[in-house]
Amino acid sequence: MTEKKRYDFGKGKLDSFQYDNPMLFFSKWYQEAQEQGCADPHALVLSTVNEKGQPSSRVVYMRNLLEEGFIIYTNYLSRKGSEILKNHKVAALFYWDCCERQVRVEGEAEKVDSKLSDEYFAQRPRISQIGAWASEQSSEIDSRASLEERVIHFEKKYPDVVPRPPHWGGYLIKPHYFEFWQGRLGRLHDRLCYIKEGKEWRKSRIAP
C-alpha cells in the first residue's frame, strides 16, 4: 500500500484575538471564505444528541447570519428536529478547506418566528417547496418510486403557490462557545476560544 503524502498547513496564523465579539470574528472569516472561493462556505456539520446520549451529525446550510447566531431550515419532524425538541443543545462545525480554517460552535437551537420561515420558504425553488411536503424526512419509505409519487401528488395539489408546511421551518442556533482554528505547520495549529459568561465573552488560547 502506497503511503499517502502528508499535507501540512501554512496559509495563515492567529497571533491574537481580532475581536471581543466572536460573531464579528466569524463574519470576517465567513466573508473571507467566500472571497477566496471556498466550496459551500455556508455549509456546516450540525450535531444533535438523542435521549440515549447518541450523537448524530449531518451537513446542512446556514441561510442567515444574525447577531444572535445562525439560522438553518429543516423538517421539524426529521431526526434532527425530533432530537432538538428533546435536547436543545447542539454543536456546529464550519470547515473552509481553501483557508485551512475551522470554526467550532456549541450552543442551543430554538425555532424562529413563523413569519421568518414563511418568508424564506417563499423564496425557495418550487421543486424544493414541493419536496418539503413530499418527503417525510428521516422516516422509512418503501422505495424511491413511492417518494416520486408523493411529489406528483403535491405538484397537483399545489399547481400555483405552495404554502409552507407546518412541520417545516427554521432554527436559530445561539452560540455560547466558539473555537477559531487556523491550520499551522507541524500540526501546531492556532486555536482561539470564546466562552460566554453572562453577557460577556471570555477569551482563551488552547493547545493544538
Give me the percent of the chain exceeding a pLDDT of 90: 89
Cite the beta strand spans of the chain per DSSP E: 43-49, 55-61, 64-65, 70-75, 89-96, 101-111, 168-182, 190-197, 200-205
Q: Which residue has the cell 460577556?
A: 200
Please indicate whether residue 58 is annotated as part of the active site. Answer: no
pLDDT bracket for residue 139 (50, 70, 90): confident
How far apart are alpha carbons 202 and 193 in whole angstroms?
8
pLDDT bracket for residue 15 (50, 70, 90): confident
Position 6 pLDDT exceeds 80: no
Q: Do 176 and 107 contact (CB within 8 A), yes or no?
A: yes
What is residue 119's predicted lDDT score, i.e. its pLDDT? 97
> Which fold does the domain 22-121+167-205 belong to in CATH?
Pnp Oxidase; Chain A (2.30.110)
Mean local confidence (pLDDT), 44-63? 97
Position 135 pLDDT exceeds 80: yes
How far apart are alpha carbons 124 and 154 in whole angstroms?
16
pLDDT bracket for residue 1 (50, 70, 90): low
Position 138 pLDDT exceeds 70: yes
Cα–Cα separations (whole angstroms), residue 179 to 6, 48, 57, 79, 174: 25, 18, 18, 26, 14
Q: Produce one character per residue of 70-83: b if its CB has 16 or more CB atoms within 10 Å, e if not.
A: bbbbbbbbbbbbbb
The residue that leads in pLDDT, 141 or 75, is 75
Position 18 pLDDT exceeds 80: yes
pLDDT digits (tens, 9 = 90+) for 68-99: 999 999 999 999 999 999 999 999 999 999 99
Position 172 pLDDT exceeds 80: yes
pLDDT digits (tens, 9 = 90+) for 90-128: 999 999 999 999 999 999 999 999 999 999 999 999 999
The mean of the pLDDT values for the chain is: 95
Mean local confidence (pLDDT), 152-169? 97
Residue 178: strand pairing partners: 105, 194
Catalytic residue among 79, 104, 187, 191: 187
Q: What is the signed CA dihedral for 166, 168, 175, 45, rounded to 10 degrees? A: 160
User: Nearest-CA neighbor of 148 among 126, 125, 131?
Assistant: 131
- Write the burial class of residue 120 (CB in 10 Å: 0-12 exposed, 13-18 middle, 19+ buried): middle
| Rg (the chain; Cα; Å) | 20
Position 2 pLDDT exceeds 80: no
Side-chain-side CA neighbours of 182 within 13 Å: the count stands at 17
